[in-house]
Amino acid sequence: MTKPDTLARIRKLPIWKGDITATPLTGGITNVNYLISDGASKYVVRVGDDIPLHQVMRFNELAASRAAHAAGLSPAVVHASGDMTVLEYIESRTLTEADVRAPQMLPRILDLVKTCHRAVPRHLRGPALVFWVFHVIRDYAATLAERGSAHAALLPELLRISAELEQAAGPFDMVFGHNDLLCGNFLDDGQRLWLIDFDYAGFNTPLFDLGGLASNNGLSPEQEDWMLETYFERPVTGDLRHRYGAMKCASLLRETMWSMVSEITSDIDFDYAAYTAGNLARFRAAHQTFNES
């Protein structure tokens, strides 16, 4: 669907209190997003269908977004119909990786993640998904092989490593995970933090979110130990550090393969090839560190 078609559909939504102005929001690599003003209030409109190749189902995202708002983490859902979700707009700035690593910010972020894990399930309604990274990796590999990806030669090795990581990462606890803790999914309004974009939300081990938070934002080994001690409220054991390291590698591998699939399936204007290369390098480095530990 073209941009004019999308804007025409947005204008027809029945919730506006006057004529609207629409400004594209840049930075999204899964959905198309617009900032909307109707003269009375501002909103964010997220436009996106189900993406089964990425395990993204909009009924699940909508339920998670509503539950996260009820838990005090996220903006309110104002309207939802078809492939469009309208959210309350928060005057804020998007965090950077450096922000996440900052000593005064990281404890606030970890509190937000912990609240997501523990409080969101109390407000969740209807069917819910499980986000199991090792299933996602296997499914991505099948898609890449079927579609003749340029990365197909890597798949046997990546699947072998994934199977080894799945064995190393257990046993598993279960929480409700956000599962996409990029710095761009944290907002700071000057008073508090917000967690947004629940495309990949679902029940999961907490180690996936913790590993993703660290790998996506370049936390130091000292910060990772602090994060594990603070989250689990006990000293870090060698066993926990090993399981966490395996899941951190799996998080990076999933992000790499997500980008590989996006290279051949997404029509969003984004350099997925460069994103693949960057994440593959990060995965290789983390896996080497894991093997040496």
Model confidence over 1-21: pLDDT tens digits?
567 799 999 999 999 998 999
What fold, for 3-88? Answer: Phosphorylase Kinase; domain 1 (3.30.200)
Cis status of the peptide bond prior to 171, with omega within 30 of 0 = yes
Per-residue pLDDT at 28? 67
CA atoms within 13 A on the CB side of 185: 23
Q: Name the one residue in this structure whose structure tokens are 């972020």.
A: 109
Contact 122, 71 (CB under 8 A): yes
pLDDT band at 161 (very low <50, low <70, confident <90, very high): very high
Q: Residue 179 to residues 13, 29, 117: CA-CA distances in angstroms?
A: 30, 15, 10
- pLDDT tens-digit readout, 193-249: 999 999 999 999 999 999 999 999 999 999 999 999 999 999 999 999 999 999 999
**Taking residues 25-46, what's their average pLDDT?**
88
Distance CA 258, CA 239 (A): 29
Distance CA 133, CA 259 (A): 14
- pLDDT tens-digit readout, 49-72: 999 999 999 999 999 999 999 999
Helix (H, G, I), strand (E, B) or coil at 193: strand
pTM: 0.94
The CATH code for residues 93-292 is 3.90.1200.10
Q: Name the one residue in this structure whose structure tokens are 């390291």.
A: 245
Q: Which helix (H) or strand (E) holds 187?
A: strand 186-188
CA atoms within 13 A on the CB side of 214: 25
pLDDT band at 26 (very low <50, low <70, confident <90, very high): confident
The tokens for 236 are 């870090």
pLDDT band at 269 (very low <50, low <70, confident <90, very high): confident
pLDDT band at 268 (very low <50, low <70, confident <90, very high): confident
The tokens for 35 are 């900032």
Q: Residue 232 to residues 114, 173, 218: CA-CA distances in angstroms?
A: 10, 11, 21
Q: Residue 116 to residues 65, 148, 150, 209: CA-CA distances in angstroms?
A: 11, 38, 37, 10
User: Domain limits of the chain?
Assistant: 3-88, 93-292
Nearest to 116 by CA among 149, 80, 88, 74: 74
CB atoms within 10 A of CB 131: 22
Q: Residue 260 to residues 109, 152, 244, 265: CA-CA distances in angstroms?
A: 29, 10, 24, 9
